Homo-oligomer: A and B are copies of this chain.
Amino acid sequence: MSEKVVVALDAMGGDYAPAEAVKGAVEAVTEHPEIKVILVGKQNQIKEELGKYEYFEENIEVVNATEIIEMGEVPTKAIREKKDSSLVVAMKLVREEKADAIVSAGSTGAILVGGQLVVGRIKGIKRPALAPFLPSKKGFSLLIDCGANVDARPEHLVQFAQMGSVYFENVMGKKNPTVGIVNIGTEEEKGNQLVKETYPLLKECKDINFVGSVEAREIAKGGVDILVCEAFVGNVILKFFEGVALTFLGCIKEGLMSSIRTKLGALMIKPAIKGLVKTFDVSSQGGAPLLGLNGLVVKAHGNSKSGEIKTAIFQCIAFKENSINDKISAMVSSK
């Protein structure tokens, strides 16, 4: 592998592919020339898009892939059958160590399945976990797991806490980040069976800075760095948050546009509302990493534009530079 951070980008994934993917790649390598992006997908289309920009040829490579995994496809079937899809080909580059990371704005399900089947798990990791950053008033919390592998066991959640801690510490640069378990009360005896069984294991775990239960009411305030939960709950929190944020902002906009008076007022408060939108923008932290795999897999939001793609690519730098996977691997094998 070269000294550059090599990122395979699924150029055909997402609502605005391949145009925004290609644009994001060019922007990324222009800003950070230590990155090399391998654009994977329909060669002709990608090259046509690339023709619109200037960039150093050593920073961008194109690898052809003739198929595309669409959003509605059954993930396992799609990954097994579409061997020449942009996603599978890009993931193979990581497996073959031709790339350090893969970024895709395509189907979450396919990315999760492909991550396990094509890229493969780190030895000792029982289950990979999708860990997006959830915005809060005080910054960001890593919500782990939001993937599709539901009905986790306590030992999975402990590994989520460990992987999340390594990731957060190295990407956010905060030593000894705090870990909480999402719960319906703060007392130790509260919770469902899974939480009750996991709580003492997290308490005993020496690698992490466990601070106990976090009630859902406290999440938006922020303050706890890593929020551990089982994927069904994590998914509900993430999607519910996106829905509430969109609906709130929609209602504010409608309210502001309802009369001349409020329209005038709206102009005056624009900076305040912009601040709110920025604080609670789910996509501002780029993509969500799928932790626990032999290489970094980053899931970008389906409606990512070039800016989000670029941020997702940048995430891969810290991941490689800090040898996050080696640290995760060391943590697991020391058990």
Chain A residues with CB under 8 Å of chain B are 136-137, 148, 150-151, 182, 184, 191-193, 195, 215-221, 231-233, 235-248, 250-252, 255-256, 258-259, 261-262, 264-269, 271-273, 275-276, 279-280
Complex CA–CA separation, A231 to B182 (angstroms): 14
The contact of A150 among B191, B218, B240, by CB within 8 Å, is B191
- Check if A240 sits within 8 Å of B243, measured CB to CB: no
- Check if B240 sits within 8 Å of A220, measured CB to CB: yes
Closest partner residue, chain B, to A249 (CB atom):
B248
Complex CA–CA separation, A136 to B246 (angstroms): 12
- Check if A232 sits within 8 Å of B184, measured CB to CB: yes
In the complex, the 3 A-B pairs of residues with the closest C-beta atoms, listed nearest first: A265-B268, A255-B272, A265-B269
Complex CA–CA separation, A251 to B276 (angstroms): 7
Assuming A261-B268, A262-B269, A265-B266, is B192 touching A150 (CB within 8 A)?
yes
| A267 partner residues in chain B, CB cutoff 8 A | 265
Complex CA–CA separation, A236 to B192 (angstroms): 12
| A275 partner residues in chain B, CB cutoff 8 A | 251, 255
Complex CA–CA separation, A135 to B247 (angstroms): 11
| A216 partner residues in chain B, CB cutoff 8 A | 235-240, 243
- Check if B272 sits within 8 Å of A232, measured CB to CB: no
Assuming A184-B232, A193-B150, A256-B269, is B220 touching A244 (CB within 8 A)?
yes
| A193 partner residues in chain B, CB cutoff 8 A | 150-151
- Check if A268 sits within 8 Å of B268, measured CB to CB: yes
- Check if A262 sits within 8 Å of B255, measured CB to CB: no
- Check if B262 sits within 8 Å of A271, measured CB to CB: yes
15 A-B Cβ contacts within 8 A?
A150-B191, A150-B192, A151-B192, A216-B236, A217-B239, A219-B240, A220-B243, A232-B233, A237-B240, A240-B241, A241-B244, A251-B275, A255-B276, A265-B265, A265-B272
- Check if A217 sits within 8 Å of B242, measured CB to CB: yes
Complex CA–CA separation, A271 to B151 (angstroms): 45
Complex CA–CA separation, A276 to B217 (angstroms): 19
Complex CA–CA separation, A106 to B240 (angstroms): 28
Closest partner residue, chain B, to A271 (CB atom):
B262
Q: Nearest chain B CB to A261's CB is how many angstroms away?
A: 5
Complex CA–CA separation, A47 to B259 (angstroms): 49
